[in-house]
Amino acid sequence: MFWIGLLLIASGIFLLVYGGKLFRFALAVGFFVLGFSVALWLLSSQPTSVRLMISFVVGGVLALVGYLLVKMALHLAGGLLGVVAAMLILSLLPFALPPFLVVILLLAGAGVVGFFGSRLGDWVIILATTLAGAYAIILGLIRIFPTAVGVTADYISAQIPFTGPAISVFLILFAVGALAQLEIRRVRGRYVNLK
Protein backbone atom coordinates (compact mmCIF):
# COMPACT_ATOMS: atom_id res chain seq x y z
CA MET A 1 0.00 0.00 0.00
CA PHE A 2 3.09 2.21 0.03
CA TRP A 3 2.68 3.09 -3.65
CA ILE A 4 -0.98 4.01 -3.14
CA GLY A 5 0.14 6.47 -0.46
CA LEU A 6 2.66 7.96 -2.89
CA LEU A 7 -0.01 8.23 -5.60
CA LEU A 8 -2.38 10.03 -3.21
CA ILE A 9 0.37 12.39 -2.00
CA ALA A 10 1.42 13.22 -5.58
CA SER A 11 -2.22 13.84 -6.52
CA GLY A 12 -2.66 16.09 -3.49
CA ILE A 13 0.44 18.13 -4.27
CA PHE A 14 -0.76 18.55 -7.86
CA LEU A 15 -4.13 19.79 -6.60
CA LEU A 16 -2.56 22.19 -4.11
CA VAL A 17 -0.07 23.67 -6.58
CA TYR A 18 -1.85 23.56 -9.94
CA GLY A 19 -5.49 23.52 -8.84
CA GLY A 20 -6.43 26.77 -10.52
CA LYS A 21 -3.84 27.00 -13.24
CA LEU A 22 -4.56 23.58 -14.74
CA PHE A 23 -8.12 23.32 -13.55
CA ARG A 24 -9.32 20.78 -16.11
CA PHE A 25 -6.63 18.33 -15.01
CA ALA A 26 -7.04 19.28 -11.35
CA LEU A 27 -10.74 18.49 -11.57
CA ALA A 28 -9.92 15.08 -13.06
CA VAL A 29 -7.32 14.38 -10.35
CA GLY A 30 -9.68 15.52 -7.59
CA PHE A 31 -12.49 13.29 -8.79
CA PHE A 32 -10.06 10.38 -9.18
CA VAL A 33 -8.87 10.75 -5.58
CA LEU A 34 -12.43 10.89 -4.24
CA GLY A 35 -13.68 8.00 -6.34
CA PHE A 36 -10.66 5.88 -5.52
CA SER A 37 -10.73 6.52 -1.76
CA VAL A 38 -14.49 6.10 -1.32
CA ALA A 39 -14.57 2.90 -3.42
CA LEU A 40 -11.56 1.52 -1.53
CA TRP A 41 -13.36 2.19 1.75
CA LEU A 42 -16.77 0.86 0.65
CA LEU A 43 -15.20 -2.37 -0.60
CA SER A 44 -13.15 -2.98 2.55
CA SER A 45 -14.62 -6.49 2.97
CA GLN A 46 -13.33 -7.60 -0.46
CA PRO A 47 -9.85 -9.02 -1.19
CA THR A 48 -7.17 -6.37 -1.74
CA SER A 49 -6.73 -7.03 -5.47
CA VAL A 50 -10.47 -6.69 -6.12
CA ARG A 51 -10.66 -3.51 -4.02
CA LEU A 52 -7.75 -1.93 -5.88
CA MET A 53 -9.03 -2.87 -9.32
CA ILE A 54 -12.55 -1.58 -8.72
CA SER A 55 -11.24 1.55 -6.95
CA PHE A 56 -9.00 2.41 -9.90
CA VAL A 57 -11.90 1.91 -12.33
CA VAL A 58 -14.28 4.08 -10.26
CA GLY A 59 -11.60 6.75 -9.84
CA GLY A 60 -10.77 6.64 -13.55
CA VAL A 61 -14.41 6.96 -14.62
CA LEU A 62 -14.93 9.93 -12.29
CA ALA A 63 -11.68 11.51 -13.53
CA LEU A 64 -12.88 11.19 -17.13
CA VAL A 65 -16.23 12.71 -16.23
CA GLY A 66 -14.52 15.63 -14.47
CA TYR A 67 -12.17 16.19 -17.41
CA LEU A 68 -14.85 16.09 -20.10
CA LEU A 69 -17.44 18.22 -18.32
CA VAL A 70 -15.23 21.26 -17.79
CA LYS A 71 -17.98 23.53 -19.17
CA MET A 72 -19.80 22.89 -15.92
CA ALA A 73 -16.59 23.67 -14.04
CA LEU A 74 -18.00 25.76 -11.22
CA HIS A 75 -20.77 23.27 -10.50
CA LEU A 76 -18.35 20.32 -10.60
CA ALA A 77 -15.90 22.17 -8.36
CA GLY A 78 -18.79 22.85 -6.02
CA GLY A 79 -19.65 19.15 -6.05
CA LEU A 80 -16.03 18.27 -5.29
CA LEU A 81 -16.02 20.81 -2.48
CA GLY A 82 -19.29 19.43 -1.12
CA VAL A 83 -18.04 15.84 -1.05
CA VAL A 84 -14.74 16.70 0.64
CA ALA A 85 -16.49 18.99 3.14
CA ALA A 86 -18.97 16.22 3.94
CA MET A 87 -16.09 13.78 4.43
CA LEU A 88 -14.45 16.22 6.83
CA ILE A 89 -17.64 16.72 8.80
CA LEU A 90 -18.15 12.95 8.98
CA SER A 91 -14.54 12.61 10.18
CA LEU A 92 -15.28 14.92 13.09
CA LEU A 93 -18.23 12.86 14.33
CA PRO A 94 -17.38 10.81 17.44
CA PHE A 95 -19.22 7.78 16.05
CA ALA A 96 -19.28 5.86 12.76
CA LEU A 97 -22.29 5.98 10.46
CA PRO A 98 -23.44 3.06 8.30
CA PRO A 99 -21.87 3.13 4.79
CA PHE A 100 -25.20 3.69 3.00
CA LEU A 101 -25.87 6.78 5.11
CA VAL A 102 -22.36 8.08 4.43
CA VAL A 103 -22.92 7.73 0.68
CA ILE A 104 -26.25 9.57 0.95
CA LEU A 105 -24.60 12.41 2.89
CA LEU A 106 -21.75 12.63 0.37
CA LEU A 107 -24.22 12.86 -2.52
CA ALA A 108 -26.21 15.49 -0.63
CA GLY A 109 -23.05 17.52 -0.03
CA ALA A 110 -22.10 17.28 -3.70
CA GLY A 111 -25.59 18.25 -4.84
CA VAL A 112 -26.12 21.20 -2.53
CA VAL A 113 -22.69 22.80 -2.89
CA GLY A 114 -22.54 21.88 -6.59
CA PHE A 115 -25.83 23.65 -7.24
CA PHE A 116 -24.54 26.84 -5.64
CA GLY A 117 -21.02 26.48 -7.06
CA SER A 118 -21.51 29.07 -9.78
CA ARG A 119 -22.56 31.66 -7.19
CA LEU A 120 -19.22 31.30 -5.40
CA GLY A 121 -17.29 32.04 -8.59
CA ASP A 122 -13.54 31.43 -8.56
CA TRP A 123 -13.59 30.92 -4.79
CA VAL A 124 -15.19 27.51 -5.25
CA ILE A 125 -12.22 26.46 -7.40
CA ILE A 126 -9.70 27.60 -4.79
CA LEU A 127 -11.57 25.93 -1.95
CA ALA A 128 -12.32 22.70 -3.84
CA THR A 129 -8.80 22.12 -5.15
CA THR A 130 -7.03 23.01 -1.91
CA LEU A 131 -9.45 21.01 0.25
CA ALA A 132 -9.19 17.99 -2.08
CA GLY A 133 -5.40 18.35 -2.24
CA ALA A 134 -4.97 18.47 1.52
CA TYR A 135 -7.40 15.54 1.85
CA ALA A 136 -5.42 13.44 -0.67
CA ILE A 137 -2.10 14.18 1.03
CA ILE A 138 -3.45 13.19 4.44
CA LEU A 139 -4.89 9.95 3.04
CA GLY A 140 -1.51 9.22 1.45
CA LEU A 141 0.34 9.92 4.69
CA ILE A 142 -2.06 7.62 6.54
CA ARG A 143 -1.21 4.81 4.09
CA ILE A 144 2.56 5.34 4.46
CA PHE A 145 2.91 6.43 8.12
CA PRO A 146 -0.20 5.21 9.98
CA THR A 147 1.31 5.37 13.48
CA ALA A 148 2.50 8.95 12.96
CA VAL A 149 -1.10 10.12 12.66
CA GLY A 150 -2.34 7.94 15.49
CA VAL A 151 -4.05 5.07 13.63
CA THR A 152 -3.28 1.39 13.23
CA ALA A 153 -1.63 -0.04 10.12
CA ASP A 154 -4.91 -1.68 9.03
CA TYR A 155 -6.88 1.62 9.03
CA ILE A 156 -9.23 1.52 6.02
CA SER A 157 -11.47 4.52 5.74
CA ALA A 158 -12.09 7.40 3.36
CA GLN A 159 -12.35 9.70 6.36
CA ILE A 160 -9.51 11.57 7.98
CA PRO A 161 -8.93 10.26 11.50
CA PHE A 162 -9.70 12.86 14.13
CA THR A 163 -6.26 12.88 15.72
CA GLY A 164 -4.13 15.89 16.54
CA PRO A 165 -1.40 15.25 13.95
CA ALA A 166 -3.80 14.45 11.11
CA ILE A 167 -6.03 17.47 11.64
CA SER A 168 -3.05 19.80 12.22
CA VAL A 169 -1.29 18.74 9.02
CA PHE A 170 -4.56 18.92 7.10
CA LEU A 171 -5.25 22.50 8.26
CA ILE A 172 -1.68 23.61 7.50
CA LEU A 173 -1.79 22.11 4.00
CA PHE A 174 -5.19 23.66 3.34
CA ALA A 175 -4.02 27.11 4.48
CA VAL A 176 -0.78 26.98 2.48
CA GLY A 177 -2.57 25.75 -0.66
CA ALA A 178 -5.31 28.39 -0.41
CA LEU A 179 -2.81 31.20 0.15
CA ALA A 180 -0.65 29.99 -2.75
CA GLN A 181 -3.60 29.85 -5.12
CA LEU A 182 -4.79 33.28 -4.00
CA GLU A 183 -1.32 34.64 -4.75
CA ILE A 184 -1.32 32.97 -8.17
CA ARG A 185 -4.72 34.52 -8.83
CA ARG A 186 -3.48 37.97 -7.80
CA VAL A 187 -0.34 37.74 -9.91
CA ARG A 188 -1.90 36.26 -13.03
CA GLY A 189 -5.16 38.20 -13.08
CA ARG A 190 -8.03 36.03 -14.30
CA TYR A 191 -7.86 32.70 -12.51
CA VAL A 192 -9.38 29.98 -14.68
CA ASN A 193 -9.45 29.68 -18.44
CA LEU A 194 -12.41 27.45 -19.21
CA LYS A 195 -11.85 27.35 -23.00
CA distance 124 to 82: 10
Q: Is 7 within 8 Å of 22 (Cβ atoms)?
A: no
What's the confidence (pLDDT) of residue 195?
Answer: 47
CA distance 116 to 124: 9
Band (193; pLDDT cuts 50, 70, 90):
low
Q: Does 138 score more than 50 pLDDT?
A: yes
Q: Domains of the chain: which residue ranges?
A: 2-70+119-188
Band (10; pLDDT cuts 50, 70, 90):
very high
Mean pLDDT of 95-112: 87
Q: Is 20 within 8 Å of 191 (Cβ atoms)?
A: yes
> What average pLDDT is seen over the chain?
83
Q: Does 190 score more than 60 pLDDT?
A: no
Q: pLDDT over 90 for what percent of the chain?
A: 12
